[in-house]
Amino acid sequence: MVTVSNESMPLMNPGSASCRQDSRPPGFPTKLPQSDSYGLTRGCSPVPEIHSTDETTETPLPGSRENHSPDAKDLHSDPDMPDPAIIHHPDDLREFHGGTFVPTMGALHEGHLSLIQTASQHPGPVLASIFVNPTQFSPDEDFDAYPRGLDQDASLAAEAGCDAIYAPSPETIYPEGPEAAVAAAAAFPLPPAAIRPGLEDADRPHFFGGVCLIVQRLLQHARPARAIFGEKDWQQLQVIDAMVAADSELSDIAIIPAATMRDSDGLAKSSRNTRIPPSERDRALGLGRALQVAHAAQHPATAESMMRDTLDAHDLDIGYAVIRNPRTLLPVTDFTEPARALIAAVLRWDGGSVRLIDNRAMTVWR
């Protein structure tokens, strides 16, 4: 019998044990005040399984029209829609405690808005954060170039059902100062899903320490009943869930996954997609096509080979194309239990490049 598994983040991309204290990215403030006492680092212990929610609805196959949600908002704000309150300090978040939280780095697109729409289906207020996290950028990543447009983002968030935007300053999030913040991210105790799989952790060794640190502090400030994360960043979803489950102060917060939003041609929505020239769009669709052809495979090694062949046919530089356990992200030997296909690849063209990721659940063969 064949069944489709339904195992169940937009967010950050931070600093890790490989970061040095003097390697803060360009644009990180050189001096931060020490007056704020929020968000002391707590750390975490290994927690291998997601603790948050029931199984989620599986994302349709890449390229199918079902991937394009009819409820997704167009990226044009309604001039008659009042903007949500913009809050800059955690002391002003008390009325939003116990609600639903959606952390973002801004530059909102339909994928982010779908997370806010999901949040609005839960009881209580909806709070989204917009914070471009400096500790998640390595020295060779351009912190200053990350797009910022708070007013536009606030208008779009309001249309999607957001009640308020939390837009703290770096000084509020990291009162200890930039060097100490980078060091805290580098020293953050990470769960196994952040260090063992050899996926994002291998390609961006600075990443998950900063992710865990910023998510921990935002959750300490927002104190929600639940937080929504997209499934497109699958490894990040597992890492954050494990970190939250291991933190005694945060472990009662439910981490709720939301299915990946896709354009009508199957490309997973991402702020990076705006960098893809129209002439290179078809090559970018190689990720979704690779996942689609792998879905018919009856053995993990076959699926991985099919994915790599498809990515090669689209002239993409492969970072990884693997089949893994959806929780531990370690290799699997068959499809008798749930498994996940995960891809990272770089699309290059004359004058530019963009790194893309995608994933989907594999068929369970019993």
Q: In this structure, are residues 270 and 111 in contact, taking their beta carbons and an 8 Å threshold?
A: yes
3-state secondary structure 13-53: CCCCCCCCCCCCCCCCCCCCCCCCCCCCCCCCCCCCCCCCC
Strand segments (E) across the chain: 2-4, 85-87, 100-104, 126-130, 164-166, 226-230, 254-258, 317-324, 340-349, 352-361, 363-365
**Other C-beta atoms within 10 Å of 1: how many?**
5
Select which of 76, 97, 112, 206 is catalytic. Answer: 112
**Nearest-angstrom CA–CA distance, 184 and 134:** 13
Question: Residue 112 catalytic?
Answer: yes
Taking CA atoms, 124 is separated from 106, 117, 251, in Å, by: 23, 13, 19
**Other C-beta atoms within 10 Å of 211: how many?**
32
Mind telling me the catalytic residues? 112
